[in-house]
C-alpha cells in the first residue's frame, strides 16, 4: 500500500542518488537492477512510502521474471547506504521510502497512514556525550523515529 508523501526539506536529485548507489554496489548493470532502479526513482519522485511487496508487484507488471531475492537484496543495500529509509512500525509492519535528505536527520512517522516526514532535528552533542559517559559506550551512530498521528489522521 502506497501512502502519502511527506514534506521534503531539500529537493535532491533522486535519480542521481539511486543510480550512483546501484553503480556502487553492483559491478554489472543487469536488466533486473535497471528495472528496480527505474521503479525506485519513480517512487522516490512521488515521495510515497511503499512495502517490499508494493515494489515487487510494480516490477512484475513490466517484468514478471524479476526474482524476489534480487529485489530484497537491492533494497537492503540501499537501506544500508541510507538512500532508502526503512521505518519499522510497532504493529510489525515496515515501509520504505526514498530518503529526502543526504545529511544527518531523523523521521516522524504517522502510525495510521504511514506518512513519513524528514526532521531536521538531532540530539545535542552534550546529550550524546552524557549517554556515552553513563553507559560506558562509544556511540558511533544513532537513528531516531517519532511515531504519532499526522494532521490529517488526527482530524479524521
Residues that bind Zn ion (CB under 5 A): 85, 99, 110, 112-113, 115, 118, 122, 150, 153
3-state DSSP call for residue 102?
coil
Query: Whole-number minimum distance, CB 144 to Zn ion, in Å?
Result: 6
Alpha-helical segments (H) within the chain: 14-25, 31-46, 52-62, 68-80, 125-135, 151-155
Between 48 and 99, name the residue whose CB sits nearer to Zn ion: 99
Query: Whole-number minimum distance, CB 132 to Zn ion, in Å?
Result: 14
Between 24 and 122, name the residue whose CB sits nearer to Zn ion: 122
For 53, the grid coordinates are 511487496
Query: Whole-number minimum distance, CB 62 to Zn ion, in Å?
Result: 27
- Whether 84 and 96 have beta carbons less than 8 Å apart is answered as yes
Between 49 and 56, name the residue whose CB sits nearer to Zn ion: 49
Closest CA to 141 of 101, 105, 102: 105
Amino acid at each position: 500500500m502506497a501512502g502519502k508523501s511527506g514534506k521534503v526539506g531539500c529537493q535532491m536529485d533522486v535519480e542521481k542518488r539511486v543510480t550512483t548507489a546501484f553503480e556502487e554496489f553492483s559491478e554489472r548493470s543487469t536488466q533486473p537492477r535497471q528495472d528496480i532502479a527505474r521503479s525506485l526513482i519513480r517512487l522516490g519522485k512521488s515521495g510515497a512510502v511503499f512495502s517490499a511487496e508494493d515494489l515487487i508487484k510494480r516490477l512484475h507488471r513490466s517484468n514478471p521474471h524479476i526474482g524476489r531475492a534480487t529485489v530484497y537484496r537491492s533494497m537492503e543495500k540501499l537501506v544500508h547506504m541510507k538512500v532508502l529509509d526503512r521505518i519499522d512500525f510497532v504493529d510489525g509492519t515496515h515501509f520504505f521510502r526514498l530518503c529526502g535528505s543526504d545529511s544527518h536527520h531523523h523521521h516522524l512517522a504517522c502510525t495510521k497512514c504511514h506518512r513519513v516526514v524528514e526532521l531536521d532535528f538531532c540530539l545535542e552533542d552534550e546529550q550524546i556525550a552524557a549517554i556515552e559517559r553513563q553507559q560506558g559506550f562509544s556511540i558511533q551512530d544513532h537513528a531516531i523515529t517519532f511515531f504519532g498521528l499526522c494532521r490529517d489522521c488526527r482530524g479524521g
